[in-house]
Amino acid sequence: MFLDHLTLHLEAGHGGPGATSFRREKFAEKGGPDGGDGGLGGSIAIRADQGLNTLNPFRNQRTFCAGRGGPGAGGLCSGSDGESLVLDVPLGTVLRDAASGEFLAELLEPGQTVCVARGGRGGQGNNHFKSSTNRTPRHSQPGEEGEVRDVDLELKLIADVGLLGFPNAGKSTLVSRVSAARPKIANYPFTTLEPQLGVVAVDELVSFVIADIPGLIEGAAGGAGLGIQFLRHVERTRMLLHLVDLADPMVEPEQAVKVIQDELKAFSPVLAAKPCWLVGTKLDALQDPDRRIRFEALCRARGQEPILISGVTGEGIRPLVFAVADALAELRKA
């Protein structure tokens, strides 16, 4: 199962206590204090790993504790530092404090690391407290407590193009035709149960990432269906492709477009404002020519040239890939 939202309980290590000690050697009757400092407590950091695409590694463990700092010792010996932890998460993970909702970080670059729970400082030994009026200090500091916090992790996949549409509109078929991804494909709704990513190679130098999410249905913004919980994964895309099944006699093209656009606006005005192309699918199975004519008119009314493809025969797919690559190049310049 695809895991993209969870809360981790993180406990940084406490600092080690400082030592209360006095130098005792032959011929050094007044050796003075020599208590060492306690070690630093271990911290907990979260790092972006390009090799991950889900939060599933945290499915069975949600609590992490860093090491405690060691106590100081005589002879001005400092305690050892506690072991720190680095937790790897996928690119695109957003970190928030679970208690306050405070935004902590958004990990978008490989290797980007954020410390989310700092270890406590080690206590000072009694050597630090000697003075002209107190030559034999008999106290030292305890170590500071490490930070304890709950951190929300929310994954938003990073892709250039997001696919939208009703269930069984041909999204997974398109992904399988243009990339090496092999999502489940079947002739019934909701075969896609989790987001799928595919890398589309336009030529030897140019490529882009395409994201397929489960199909949307009317009322999705209110919780109906599966796709609404995954719409966050197309929030970062530069553009959207709205696939419309031209061969489905039960849903008119105008209705299919209106329902999906209404759900996007209800979910996020920012997402609804992204460049969105209409793509007519299943051209090979189209029985009613009037549906094609109405779809083409709908596209032109939106200021877009009609795009029609067939996942079975491959008709129109390569021109679509080249057109998307050109559009992405322009968007990157902008």
Q: What is the pLDDT of residue 221?
A: 43
**The pLDDT value given to residue 331:** 86
Say yes or no: 129 and 54 in one domain.
Answer: yes
Q: Give yes or no: residues 65 and 193 share one domain.
A: no
| Residue 219 vs residues 9, 20, 193, 245, 255: alpha-carbon distances, Å | 34, 68, 18, 19, 13
Q: Does 79 lie in the same domain as 19?
A: yes
Report the domain count for the chain: 2
Domain-terminating residue out of 121, 155, 189: 155
Question: 14-18, 115-119, 252-256: which range is least confident on average?
Answer: 252-256
Lowest mean pLDDT among 1-5, 62-66, 187-191, 243-247: 187-191
Residue at a domain's end among 155, 176, 195:
155
User: Taking all residues of the chain, what is their mean pLDDT, rounded to a whole number?
Assistant: 84
Asked if 69 contacts 119 with a C-beta cutoff of 8 angstroms, the reply is yes
With b for 16 or more beta-carbon neighbours within 10 A and e for fewer, the 54-77 pattern comes to bbeebeeeeebbbbbbbbbbbebb
Question: What CATH number is associated with residue 55?
Answer: 2.70.210.12
Domain boundary among 98, 129, 155: 155
Relative to beta strand 93-97, strand 103-107 is antiparallel
Q: What is the pLDDT of residue 220?
A: 44
Which pLDDT score, from 0 to 100, does residue 181 have?
A: 57
- Tell me the pLDDT tens digit for each residue of 69-109: 999 998 899 999 999 999 999 888 999 999 999 999 999 89
Tokens representing 117 are 């729970």
Of residues 292 and 180, which shows the higher confidence score?
Answer: 292
Residue 216: per-residue pLDDT: 64
Same domain, yes or no: 145 and 185: no
For residues 148 and 167, membership in a common domain is answered with no
Average pLDDT, integer, range 34-38:
93
**Spatial CA neighbour of 197 closest among 225, 158, 169, 165:** 158
Amino acid 182: pLDDT: 58
Query: For 142-188, what is each residue's pLDDT tens digit?
Result: 999 999 999 999 887 777 888 888 887 788 888 888 886 554 444 54
- The confidence score (pLDDT) of residue 225 equals 46
Are 173 and 302 in the same domain?
yes
Position 217 scores a pLDDT of 52
* pLDDT(136) > 90: no
Instruction: Please give the pLDDT value at position 174.
Output: 86
Q: Which residue has the higher pLDDT, 67 or 55?
A: 67
In this prediction, residue 219 carries a pLDDT of 47
Looking at the structure, do residues 106 and 3 belong to the same domain, yes or no?
Answer: yes
- With cut-offs at 50, 70 and 90, classify the pLDDT of residue 11: very high
187 plus 268 within the same structural domain: yes
pLDDT at position 297 over 50: yes
- Copy the structure tokens of residue 80: 């050892």
Together in a domain, 172 and 113: no
- Cα separation, 138 vs 155, in Å, equals 52
CATH number assigned to the domain comprising residue 201: 3.40.50.300
Rounded to the nearest 10°, the torsion over CA 152, 158, 161, 164 is -20
Range of the domain at 296: 161-333
- In terms of domains, do 56 and 165 share one? no
Helix, strand, coil percentages in the chain from 3-state DSSP, rounded to 5: 25, 25, 50
User: Would you give the distance in Å from CA 167 to the centre of its chain?
Assistant: 25
pTM score = 0.68
* Residue 177 shares a structural domain with residue 299: yes
Asked if 101 and 229 sit in the same domain, the reply is no
pLDDT category of residue 266 using cuts at 50, 70 and 90: confident
pLDDT of residue 3 exceeding 80, the answer is no
